[in-house]
A and B are shown apart, each in its own frame.
Chain A
Protein backbone atom coordinates (compact mmCIF):
# COMPACT_ATOMS: atom_id res chain seq x y z
CA UNK A 1 0.00 0.00 0.00
CA UNK A 2 1.23 3.45 -0.92
CA UNK A 3 1.66 6.51 1.29
CA UNK A 4 -1.64 8.27 1.82
CA UNK A 5 -1.63 12.03 1.31
CA UNK A 6 -4.16 14.61 2.52
CA UNK A 7 -4.19 17.89 0.58
CA UNK A 8 -5.16 21.04 2.48
CA UNK A 9 -5.61 24.21 0.41
CA UNK A 10 -8.49 26.61 -0.15
CA UNK A 11 -7.42 26.79 -3.80
CA UNK A 12 -8.76 24.13 -6.13
CA UNK A 13 -6.04 25.18 -8.60
CA UNK A 14 -3.25 24.26 -6.21
CA UNK A 15 -5.01 21.08 -5.15
CA UNK A 16 -5.28 20.01 -8.81
CA UNK A 17 -1.64 20.88 -9.45
CA UNK A 18 -0.53 18.78 -6.48
CA UNK A 19 -2.89 16.01 -7.52
CA UNK A 20 -1.38 15.87 -11.01
CA UNK A 21 2.11 15.57 -9.50
CA UNK A 22 1.25 13.01 -6.80
CA UNK A 23 -0.90 10.82 -9.06
CA UNK A 24 2.18 10.31 -11.23
CA UNK A 25 4.37 9.44 -8.26
CA UNK A 26 4.71 5.75 -7.57
CA UNK A 27 3.87 4.74 -4.01
CA UNK A 28 1.62 7.70 -3.18
CA UNK A 29 -2.12 8.24 -3.28
CA UNK A 30 -4.35 11.18 -2.41
CA UNK A 31 -7.01 10.35 0.15
CA UNK A 32 -8.70 13.72 0.60
CA UNK A 33 -8.76 17.49 0.04
CA UNK A 34 -9.62 19.88 2.86
CA UNK A 35 -10.29 23.55 2.08
CA UNK A 36 -9.37 25.06 5.42
CA UNK A 37 -7.54 24.21 8.61
CA UNK A 38 -10.63 23.17 10.55
CA UNK A 39 -11.63 20.70 7.86
CA UNK A 40 -8.03 19.46 7.77
CA UNK A 41 -8.07 18.54 11.44
CA UNK A 42 -11.40 16.68 11.06
CA UNK A 43 -10.18 14.84 7.99
CA UNK A 44 -6.90 13.94 9.69
CA UNK A 45 -8.84 12.25 12.49
CA UNK A 46 -11.06 10.28 10.10
CA UNK A 47 -8.50 9.45 7.38
CA UNK A 48 -5.20 9.24 9.35
CA UNK A 49 -3.06 10.04 6.29
CA UNK A 50 0.69 9.41 6.23
CA UNK A 51 1.47 12.91 4.94
CA UNK A 52 -0.38 16.24 4.95
CA UNK A 53 0.37 18.94 2.36
CA UNK A 54 -0.80 22.09 4.13
CA UNK A 55 -1.32 25.65 2.87
CA UNK A 56 -0.90 28.48 5.38
CA UNK A 57 -3.32 31.28 4.42
CA UNK A 58 -6.83 29.84 4.55
CA UNK A 59 -10.21 30.96 5.89
CA UNK A 60 -11.59 29.75 9.25
CA UNK A 61 -8.33 28.23 10.50
CA UNK A 62 -4.91 28.83 9.00
CA UNK A 63 -2.39 26.12 8.24
CA UNK A 64 -0.12 26.85 11.21
CA UNK A 65 -2.98 26.48 13.69
CA UNK A 66 -4.15 23.32 11.92
CA UNK A 67 -0.63 21.86 12.02
CA UNK A 68 -0.43 22.53 15.76
CA UNK A 69 -3.79 20.82 16.27
CA UNK A 70 -2.83 17.81 14.13
CA UNK A 71 0.47 17.35 15.94
CA UNK A 72 -1.36 17.46 19.26
CA UNK A 73 -3.52 14.59 17.99
CA UNK A 74 -0.56 12.72 16.54
CA UNK A 75 2.99 13.76 17.39
CA UNK A 76 4.27 11.58 14.53
CA UNK A 77 2.20 13.40 11.89
CA UNK A 78 4.16 14.48 8.83
CA UNK A 79 3.07 17.90 7.64
CA UNK A 80 4.66 19.77 4.74
CA UNK A 81 3.67 23.43 4.40
CA UNK A 82 3.13 24.56 0.79
CA UNK A 83 2.39 28.27 0.79
CA UNK A 84 2.78 31.59 -1.00
CA UNK A 85 4.33 32.73 2.32
CA UNK A 86 6.89 29.93 2.06
CA UNK A 87 9.61 32.48 1.31
CA UNK A 88 8.93 34.57 4.43
CA UNK A 89 11.60 33.87 7.05
CA UNK A 90 9.31 34.35 10.07
CA UNK A 91 6.69 31.98 8.64
CA UNK A 92 9.26 29.33 7.73
CA UNK A 93 10.69 29.37 11.23
CA UNK A 94 7.23 29.39 12.84
CA UNK A 95 6.18 26.42 10.69
CA UNK A 96 9.29 24.44 11.63
CA UNK A 97 8.80 25.29 15.33
CA UNK A 98 5.19 24.13 15.13
CA UNK A 99 6.50 20.81 13.80
CA UNK A 100 6.25 20.95 10.02
CA UNK A 101 8.80 18.72 8.29
CA UNK A 102 9.44 21.15 5.45
CA UNK A 103 8.21 24.41 3.93
CA UNK A 104 7.81 24.82 0.17
CA UNK A 105 7.17 28.23 -1.38
CA UNK A 106 4.66 28.80 -4.15
CA UNK A 107 5.05 28.85 -7.08
CA UNK A 108 6.67 25.44 -6.67
CA UNK A 109 8.56 23.18 -9.04
CA UNK A 110 6.93 19.72 -9.39
CA UNK A 111 10.31 18.11 -8.75
CA UNK A 112 10.55 19.83 -5.36
CA UNK A 113 7.20 18.34 -4.37
CA UNK A 114 8.27 14.87 -5.54
CA UNK A 115 11.62 15.03 -3.74
CA UNK A 116 10.08 16.28 -0.51
CA UNK A 117 7.34 13.63 -0.41
CA UNK A 118 9.80 10.88 -1.25
CA UNK A 119 12.12 11.99 1.55
CA UNK A 120 9.42 11.63 4.24
Chain B
Protein backbone atom coordinates (compact mmCIF):
# COMPACT_ATOMS: atom_id res chain seq x y z
CA UNK B 1 0.00 0.00 0.00
CA UNK B 2 1.54 3.38 -0.99
CA UNK B 3 1.39 5.84 1.88
CA UNK B 4 1.18 8.86 -0.46
CA UNK B 5 -1.97 7.56 -2.11
CA UNK B 6 -5.03 9.60 -1.22
CA UNK B 7 -7.88 7.65 0.43
CA UNK B 8 -10.27 8.94 -2.24
CA UNK B 9 -10.13 6.03 -4.75
CA UNK B 10 -10.38 3.49 -1.94
CA UNK B 11 -13.58 4.92 -0.57
CA UNK B 12 -15.17 5.06 -4.00
CA UNK B 13 -14.11 1.49 -4.61
CA UNK B 14 -15.56 0.46 -1.26
CA UNK B 15 -18.65 2.48 -2.06
CA UNK B 16 -19.09 0.69 -5.38
CA UNK B 17 -18.74 -2.69 -3.68
CA UNK B 18 -21.31 -1.65 -1.11
CA UNK B 19 -23.73 -0.66 -3.86
CA UNK B 20 -23.20 -3.97 -5.67
CA UNK B 21 -23.55 -6.01 -2.49
CA UNK B 22 -26.51 -4.04 -1.20
CA UNK B 23 -28.19 -3.99 -4.60
CA UNK B 24 -27.67 -7.70 -5.02
CA UNK B 25 -29.04 -8.34 -1.55
CA UNK B 26 -32.08 -6.15 -2.21
CA UNK B 27 -32.64 -7.80 -5.58
CA UNK B 28 -32.57 -11.28 -4.10
CA UNK B 29 -34.86 -10.13 -1.29
CA UNK B 30 -37.27 -8.74 -3.89
CA UNK B 31 -37.10 -11.98 -5.84
CA UNK B 32 -38.09 -13.84 -2.66
CA UNK B 33 -40.84 -11.43 -1.71
CA UNK B 34 -42.47 -10.94 -5.10
CA UNK B 35 -43.71 -14.53 -5.52
CA UNK B 36 -44.86 -14.55 -1.88
CA UNK B 37 -46.87 -11.35 -2.36
CA UNK B 38 -48.41 -12.73 -5.55
CA UNK B 39 -49.16 -15.98 -3.75
CA UNK B 40 -51.26 -14.02 -1.21
CA UNK B 41 -53.71 -12.96 -3.90
CA UNK B 42 -56.26 -15.71 -4.51
CA UNK B 43 -56.89 -16.66 -8.14
CA UNK B 44 -60.09 -15.19 -9.58
CA UNK B 45 -63.00 -17.59 -9.46
CA UNK B 46 -64.81 -18.05 -12.75
CA UNK B 47 -68.48 -17.35 -12.15
CA UNK B 48 -70.21 -20.14 -14.05
CA UNK B 49 -73.62 -18.87 -13.02
CA UNK B 50 -74.19 -17.02 -16.25
CA UNK B 51 -76.86 -14.38 -16.61
CA UNK B 52 -79.86 -16.62 -16.20
CA UNK B 53 -81.03 -19.00 -13.51
CA UNK B 54 -84.16 -20.97 -12.63
CA UNK B 55 -85.05 -19.48 -9.25
CA UNK B 56 -88.06 -21.66 -8.42
CA UNK B 57 -90.97 -23.63 -9.85
CA UNK B 58 -94.48 -22.26 -10.11
CA UNK B 59 -96.28 -23.01 -6.87
CA UNK B 60 -93.09 -23.11 -4.77
CA UNK B 61 -93.97 -19.78 -3.23
CA UNK B 62 -97.13 -18.76 -1.43
CA UNK B 63 -98.36 -15.19 -2.08
CA UNK B 64 -96.68 -12.64 0.21
CA UNK B 65 -93.51 -14.69 0.77
CA UNK B 66 -89.92 -14.78 -0.36
CA UNK B 67 -87.19 -17.30 -1.07
CA UNK B 68 -83.42 -17.16 -1.41
CA UNK B 69 -82.09 -18.66 -4.62
CA UNK B 70 -78.59 -19.19 -5.91
CA UNK B 71 -77.47 -16.79 -8.64
CA UNK B 72 -73.93 -17.77 -9.59
CA UNK B 73 -71.87 -17.45 -6.43
CA UNK B 74 -74.20 -14.93 -4.79
CA UNK B 75 -77.68 -15.22 -3.26
CA UNK B 76 -80.77 -13.71 -4.85
CA UNK B 77 -84.21 -13.07 -3.37
CA UNK B 78 -87.39 -14.06 -5.18
CA UNK B 79 -90.63 -12.55 -3.85
CA UNK B 80 -94.22 -13.36 -4.73
CA UNK B 81 -96.37 -10.30 -3.97
CA UNK B 82 -99.79 -10.69 -2.44
CA UNK B 83 -101.20 -9.62 -5.86
CA UNK B 84 -99.43 -12.52 -7.55
CA UNK B 85 -96.49 -10.71 -9.20
CA UNK B 86 -92.94 -12.08 -8.97
CA UNK B 87 -89.94 -9.90 -8.16
CA UNK B 88 -86.30 -10.85 -8.05
CA UNK B 89 -83.48 -8.86 -6.50
CA UNK B 90 -79.94 -9.33 -5.30
CA UNK B 91 -80.07 -10.62 -1.70
CA UNK B 92 -76.73 -9.10 -0.76
CA UNK B 93 -77.29 -6.08 1.48
CA UNK B 94 -75.52 -3.03 0.07
CA UNK B 95 -74.40 -2.07 3.57
CA UNK B 96 -72.02 -4.81 4.75
CA UNK B 97 -72.97 -7.77 2.60
CA UNK B 98 -75.30 -9.78 4.84
CA UNK B 99 -78.09 -11.76 3.17
CA UNK B 100 -81.44 -9.96 3.34
CA UNK B 101 -84.88 -11.57 3.77
CA UNK B 102 -88.51 -10.79 2.87
CA UNK B 103 -90.65 -9.73 5.82
CA UNK B 104 -94.29 -10.65 5.12
CA UNK B 105 -95.44 -8.63 8.15
CA UNK B 106 -93.83 -5.41 6.89
CA UNK B 107 -94.09 -6.22 3.16
CA UNK B 108 -90.52 -5.05 2.99
CA UNK B 109 -87.07 -6.48 2.50
CA UNK B 110 -85.12 -6.53 5.74
CA UNK B 111 -81.50 -7.13 6.73
CA UNK B 112 -81.11 -8.66 10.19
CA UNK B 113 -77.50 -7.62 10.66
CA UNK B 114 -77.94 -3.86 11.03
CA UNK B 115 -81.69 -3.39 10.64
CA UNK B 116 -81.70 -1.97 7.12
CA UNK B 117 -84.91 -2.08 5.03
CA UNK B 118 -85.68 -1.87 1.31
CA UNK B 119 -89.01 -1.60 -0.47
CA UNK B 120 -90.08 -4.19 -3.04
CA UNK B 121 -88.39 -2.20 -5.80
CA UNK B 122 -85.10 -2.60 -3.94
CA UNK B 123 -84.92 1.04 -2.84
CA UNK B 124 -83.14 1.51 0.48
CA UNK B 125 -85.87 2.92 2.73
CA UNK B 126 -84.36 3.04 6.20
CA UNK B 127 -81.30 2.02 8.20
CA UNK B 128 -77.69 2.07 7.10
CA UNK B 129 -77.83 0.70 3.49
CA UNK B 130 -76.23 3.28 1.19
CA UNK B 131 -77.58 2.02 -2.16
CA UNK B 132 -80.61 0.16 -3.53
CA UNK B 133 -80.49 -3.58 -4.21
CA UNK B 134 -79.90 -4.72 -7.80
CA UNK B 135 -83.19 -5.71 -9.43
CA UNK B 136 -83.34 -8.69 -11.81
CA UNK B 137 -85.82 -9.48 -14.60
CA UNK B 138 -88.27 -12.28 -13.88
CA UNK B 139 -90.38 -14.21 -16.31
CA UNK B 140 -92.26 -17.48 -16.26
CA UNK B 141 -91.23 -20.15 -18.77
CA UNK B 142 -93.41 -23.24 -18.61
CA UNK B 143 -93.58 -24.05 -14.90
CA UNK B 144 -90.20 -22.47 -14.19
CA UNK B 145 -89.56 -18.99 -12.86
CA UNK B 146 -86.52 -17.68 -14.68
CA UNK B 147 -84.43 -14.79 -13.39
CA UNK B 148 -82.18 -12.72 -15.67
CA UNK B 149 -79.62 -10.04 -14.99
CA UNK B 150 -80.90 -6.79 -16.48
CA UNK B 151 -79.19 -5.98 -19.74
CA UNK B 152 -77.20 -2.79 -19.58
CA UNK B 153 -78.90 -0.25 -21.84
The answer to whether A and B interact is no
- Chain A residues at the B interface, C-beta cutoff of 8 Å: none
